[in-house]
Amino acid sequence: MKKLAVIAIGGNSLIRDKHHLKVEDQYHEITKTVKHIVEIIKAGYQVVITHGNGPQVGFVLRRSEIAYEHEGLHFIPLQSCVANTQGAIGYQIQQALTNELKKSKIPKQALTIVTQVKVSKKDPGFKRPTKPIGQFYDDKKAKTIKKDHPDWIMVSDAGRGFRRVVASPKPLEIIEMDMIQNLLDNKCCVIAAGGGGIPVVENKDGSLEGVGAVIDKDFASALLAKNLNADLLIISTGVDYVCLNFGKDNERALANITKKEAKTYLKQGHFKVGSMRPKMEAILWFLEHGGQKAIISKPEHLRKSIAGICGTHIHG
């Protein structure tokens, strides 16, 4: 029986830099990433791919704002922005991965599931928004935006500038879980829970209703990996290794650490909110709920990482 890896691709990793923001630029980055994912498939893994959408949701929201300001068109609800980006990014990954599978003569197909994820109406995240979305702004631009949008909450994000933050409730249930498993059973490469999934709440009559929030894609990926009994959770990001004292003279890369060590470093404040902290918290949740191993690494080092010669490996 093949091993299963859940691979979480960061939304920021799909955008090379501020000069390459177009949809075509994003697809180009995706074509590079899927080559490495195919290498994991060649190594004997089934894969489920998740992805972030922070910058992309910001773009959709901004287009909506401009359309409202200049043409009086209605705003797009945040949950619809998540659905929009989930379908659009999923389509690009699906197409690029299917093309790469054909080139490698691997008889598999990639399929995207527009995924809903249930959250609680009483989740404290709705009272204390923390999830960064959209692009980064310098201090001057952030103050201008705050003046134009007094209801927005803007925070400094890991020293890279200011970003808007919104509610980020914890994922409780993946609604389309059975269909994801069915596709895996039929040897498909599945793209699911994009952007953390579309957040929905359950009403008293059992009906589902979308809510304006963004679920952290790493937590949703951890939940997905746990539900699928995945052998490996991989979080692909923009660094070779997780580091202690990141950006300081005494910076130290971590290659192999235990769950206990990861908890200690987290408590010591080595991992910043909006950057590495949610990734480590999601991995610890996965390991504490039956997971055995997780890896954090750059997309281009995925094959080396599963071979144990690159990336940060966290063991249960």
* Residue of 35, 217, 226, 293 marked catalytic: 217
Does 256 participate in catalysis according to the annotation?
no
Output helix, strand, coil percentages for the chain, rounded to the nearest 5.
40, 25, 35
Give the span between the Cα atoms of 293 and 95, in whole angstroms. Answer: 29
256-258: strand order across its sheet:
110-112, 189-191, 45-51, 3-9, 232-236, 293-297, 312-315, 256-258
Does 217 participate in catalysis according to the annotation?
yes
Give the span between the Cα atoms of 53 and 45, in whole angstroms. Answer: 25
Residues 6+ apart with CB under 8 A from 185: none
CB 117 within 8 A of CB 79: no
* Residue of 35, 108, 131, 293 marked catalytic: 131
Strand pairing category for 198-202 and 153-156: unpaired
3-state SS class at 20: coil
CB 34 within 8 A of CB 93: yes
The four Cα atoms 207, 210, 216, 222 give a dihedral, to 10 degrees, of 20
* Residue of 35, 108, 226, 279 marked catalytic: 279
Does 12 participate in catalysis according to the annotation?
yes
Residues noted as catalytic? 11-12, 131, 217, 279
